[in-house]
């Protein structure tokens, strides 16, 4: 019986290490990324096949391949040389991290309060375009992210929601900043 118990402990430890390594690779390589396409030297949005990276993580380095690219389907047969950028700096090309750096220390263009950090489960800050329309950054194509950030101002989640409500359902909004119409009771 002690030999069987020791065997189960060893098997459990090996399985834990394997799962830990696979989960770590999946977490490291999931998410949208912004890279420079080696072919045309322009920004491109890519997504690494995180499941494949996790499945091949038992070797020295996980095998990376793209699951999507903003240049596909036209350039789907490319050599995926852009993956060297992901391998060299997986955190720096992650869209979530690029946005966190951009929003860091900024204040809302509408209310002036700090925008705060980006949390996956909480309300996300948004972008205020020059035409004063707010957009969620998830709506911006990754390959146009840097140009969009350069042309927009940060806006907090609360102001974005208020702006969206006002734009999409003006009949539900009472704008107390406007003077009352003549003849209305106070």
- pLDDT 10s digits, 99-117: 999 999 999 999 999 987 7
Q: Which residue has the higher pLDDT, 33 or 25?
A: 33
Residue span of the structural domain in which 71 resides: 2-88
**Is residue 74 domain-shared with residue 133, that is, in the same domain?**
no
Domain shared by 30 and 78, yes or no? yes
Instruction: Give the other-Cβ count within 10 Å of 88's Cβ.
Output: 9
Mean pLDDT of 2-26: 78
Where are the strands (E) in 6-65, listed by range?
32-36, 43-48
In a domain, 142, yes or no: yes
Same-domain check for residues 68 and 26: yes
Question: What pLDDT does residue 179 have?
Answer: 64
119 contacts 97 by C-beta, under 8 angstroms: no
Q: Which segment of 17-21, 144-148, 176-180 scores lowest on mean pLDDT?
A: 176-180
Domain boundary pick from 71, 88, 105:
88
Neighbours of 65 (CB within 10 A): 12
Assigned token pair, 64: 């990376």
Per-residue pLDDT tens digits for 163-172: 999 888 888 8
pLDDT value, residue 119? 75
CA 112, 114, 118, 123 dihedral sign is negative
SS3 content of the chain, % helix, strand, coil (to 5): 40, 15, 45
Q: What is the number of domains present in the chain? A: 2
In a domain, 81, yes or no: yes
Question: pTM score, two decimals?
Answer: 0.78
Q: In terms of domains, do 73 and 52 share one?
A: yes
> 24: Cβ–Cβ under 8 A, 6 or more apart, which residues?
57
Instruction: Report d(CA 163, CA 135) in Å as an integer.
Output: 10
């Amino acid at each position: 019986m002690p030999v069987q118990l020791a065997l189960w402990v060893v098997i459990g430890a090996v399985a834990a290490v394997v799962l830990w390594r696979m989960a770590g690779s999946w977490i490291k390589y999931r998410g949208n990324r912004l890279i420079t396409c080696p072919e045309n030297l322009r920004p491109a949005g890519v997504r690494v096949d995180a499941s494949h990276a996790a499945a091949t993580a038992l070797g020295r380095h996980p095998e990376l391949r793209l699951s999507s690219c903003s240049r596909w389907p036209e350039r789907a047969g490319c050599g995926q040389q852009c993956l060297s950028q992901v391998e060299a700096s997986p955190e720096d090309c992650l869209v979530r991290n690029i946005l966190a750096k951009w929003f860091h220390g900024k204040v809302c263009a509408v209310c002036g309060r700090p925008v705060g950090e980006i949390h996956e489960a909480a309300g996300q800050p948004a972008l205020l375009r020059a035409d004063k329309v707010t957009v969620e950054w998830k709506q911006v194509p990754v390959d146009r992210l840097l140009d969009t950030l350069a042309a927009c101002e940060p806006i907090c989640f609360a102001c974005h929601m208020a702006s969206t409500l006002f734009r999409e359902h003006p009949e539900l909004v009472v704008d107390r900043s406007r003077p009352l119409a003549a003849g209305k009771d106070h």
